C-alpha cells in the first residue's frame, strides 16, 4: 500500500510526484506524474476503489491490468506498475506526448500517404502481437491510438479487451464504437473463430 489515498489533492504517490490532470472520465482521472528516482514522465491513471466496487468493475480492471502486463510491444502503451492505497488504485503508464491520432486527423485533415502507410503498419504490428498473446482489443479507433514524440503509433485503452485465457464469455459479447466495428459485430457474429479478423477489419476502417 502507498500514500496518496486521502481526501486532499494528490501530491505524491510512492516515488511519483503528481501534477496536472490530463484527462477525466466517469470512473478515473489520468494525471501527469514524474518518477523522482529516474526523472521519467509518466501518466498516472487514478481509480476510486468504492466506485469500482459500486459499478461492479473489479474484474474488468483486473483483466485490463493483466492484459497490459502481457502485451509489451513498441506499438502498445507500456504499463510500468500498479500501486494501491486504502481508497485508490494507481495505474502507472507510459506518458505519450503526441496526443491521439484522432486529434491529428482533425487538425491536419487527411493524412499523407506516407504517414497513413506508416501508422497502418505500426497498428498491424501491434495488433498482430496482441493476437499472438491471445488478446483481442475490440475497440480500435483513432481516439485509442496515441502518437509519441517521434510520431510512432501506440495502441491504448484495453478496457474492453477479450482474453480467452481468462474465459470465453467475453468472446460472445458485443462491444466497440459503431463507426469502427467490423460487420460481424453489427450482425452479432461473435464466435471465437471469427474474432481474429475483427481487429484487422477495424484497422482497415481506421486507415480509410
Query: What is the set of active-site residues?
Result: 139
Alpha-helical segments (H) within 79-133: 101-108, 113-132
CA–CA gap between residue 141 and residue 24 (Å, rounded) = 19
124: Cβ–Cβ under 8 A, 6 or more apart, which residues?
Answer: 200, 203
Inter-CA distances, 37 with 40, 146, 174, Å = 8, 26, 43
CA–CA gap between residue 180 and residue 199 (Å, rounded) = 10
- Of 163, 19, 152, 179, the closest CA to residue 78 belongs to 152
Radius of gyration of the chain (CA): 18
Amino acid at each position: 500500500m502507498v500514500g496518496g489515498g486521502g481526501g486532499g489533492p494528490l501530491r505524491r504517490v510512492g516515488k511519483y510526484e503528481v501534477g496536472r490532470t490530463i484527462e477525466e472520465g466517469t470512473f478515473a482521472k489520468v494525471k501527469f506524474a514524474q518518477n523522482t528516482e529516474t526523472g521519467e514522465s509518466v501518466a498516472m491513471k487514478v481509480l476510486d476503489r468504492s466506485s469500482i466496487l459500486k459499478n461492479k468493475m473489479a474484474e474488468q480492471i483486473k483483466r485490463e491490468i493483466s492484459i497490459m502486463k502481457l502485451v509489451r510491444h513498441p506499438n502498445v502503451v507500456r504499463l510500468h506498475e500498479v500501486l494501491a492505497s486504502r481508497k485508490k488504485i494507481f495505474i502507472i503508464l507510459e506518458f505519450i506526448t503526441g496526443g491521439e491520432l484522432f486529434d491529428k486527423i482533425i487538425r491536419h485533415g487527411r493524412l499523407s500517404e506516407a504517414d497513413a502507410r506508416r501508422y497502418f503498419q505500426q497498428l498491424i504490428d501491434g495488433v498482430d502481437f496482441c493476437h499472438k498473446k491471445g488478446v483481442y482489443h475490440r475497440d480500435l479507433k483513432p481516439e485509442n491510438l496515441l502518437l509519441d514524440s517521434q510520431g510512432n503509433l501506440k495502441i491504448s485503452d484495453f478496457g474492453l479487451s477479450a482474453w480467452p485465457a481468462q474465459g470465453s464469455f467475453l468472446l460472445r459479447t458485443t462491444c466497440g464504437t459503431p463507426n469502427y466495428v467490423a460487420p460481424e459485430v453489427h450482425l452479432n457474429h461473435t464466435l471465437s473463430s471469427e474474432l481474429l479478423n475483427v481487429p484487422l477489419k477495424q484497422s482497415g476502417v481506421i486507415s480509410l
